[in-house]
């Protein structure tokens, strides 16, 4: 069962105490920029984790900003693989009553309900080159590299490391896919689910994937492939993109 830290109390709570009951996830994006994108990304992870557990989700975009600003934020989120969020202001009052999970910037308030606090994005050095040409999935992985309760850097080193990891993993997944398929080992599946069900500990998910990558020949390549494909249902890094590409 997915448990998250409620920022109001500092205590862990069940994200969906009634399994298979509708859960409302509201992303309270603070304007625009990297901080707002990180709030949307954490909401996306929360939605994906709930759905992997069989919980239906009503996903909403809350917060401030006019139509143009919200449209721009939605477009930036879509580029990062963030699921579309309905505009909460367009829904009738009382829609999706029940458990509400509010994903908010650290220190921000929210309506009544459980709050998932998202730490800020640390700005790059003023002299750092513009990242307008950064691959959006590289940016997603860089933002996933730290737990959402800790600030995350987006400097040149962080983006370079994320890009290198993404290229290496996609190449490895394409190679493993050429071998006979094998199921995800139970122990690995338990470690992955245990990580993301523990307050969305995505950095631990990434560590599990690195351990699978570095495991010895006793782990079949087909099992490595299935492990990465399974984890990517949460991470949404398009790790199987290079399947079928020339070796």
Digits of tens for pLDDT over the chain (247 positions)?
899 999 999 999 999 877 667 899 999 988 778 999 999 999 999 999 999 999 999 999 986 667 778 888 888 899 999 999 988 665 544 555 667 899 999 988 777 789 999 999 997 655 555 555 678 999 999 999 999 999 999 999 999 999 999 999 999 999 999 999 999 999 999 999 999 999 999 999 999 999 999 999 999 999 999 999 999 999 999 999 988 777 6
List, in sequence order, the alpha helices (H) in the chain.
34-52, 67-79, 136-144, 156-176, 186-196, 202-214, 221-235
Instruction: Provide φ and ψ at 9, rounded to 5°.
Output: -115, -20
CA–CA dist 18, 22 (Å, integer): 8
pTM for this predicted structure: 0.92
Between the alpha carbon of residue 244 and those of residues 36, 61, 138, 190, the distances in Å are 36, 37, 21, 29
């Amino acid at each position: 069962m997915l448990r998250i830290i409620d920022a109001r109390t500092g205590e862990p709570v069940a994200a969906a105490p009634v399994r298979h009951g509708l859960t409302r996830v509201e992303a309270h994006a603070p304007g625009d920029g990297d901080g707002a994108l990180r709030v949307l990304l954490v909401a996306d992870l929360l939605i994906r984790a709930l759905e992997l557990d069989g919980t239906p989700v009503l996903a909403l975009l809350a917060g401030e900003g006019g139509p143009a600003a919200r449209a721009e934020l939605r477009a930036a989120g879509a580029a990062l693989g963030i699921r579309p969020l309905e505009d909460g202001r367009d829904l009738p009052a009382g829609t999706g009553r029940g458990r509400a999970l509010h994903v908010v910037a650290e220190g921000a308030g929210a309506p009544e309900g459980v709050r998932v606090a998202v730490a800020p994005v640390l700005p790059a050095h003023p002299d750092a080159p513009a990242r307008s040409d950064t691959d959006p999935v590289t940016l997603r992985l860089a933002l996933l590299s730290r737990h959402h309760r800790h600030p995350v850097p987006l400097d040149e080193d962080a983006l370079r490391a994320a890009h290198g990891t993404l290229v290496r993993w996609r190449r490895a997944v394409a190679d493993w896919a050429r071998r006979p398929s094998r199921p995800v080992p139970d122990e690995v599946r338990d470690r992955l689910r245990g990580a993301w069900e523990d307050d969305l500990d995505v950095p631990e998910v990434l560590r599990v994937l690195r351990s699978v990558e570095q495991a010895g020949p006793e782990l079949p390549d087909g099992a490595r492939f299935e492990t990465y494909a399974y984890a990517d249902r949460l991470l949404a890094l398009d790790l199987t993109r290079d399947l079928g590409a020339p070796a």
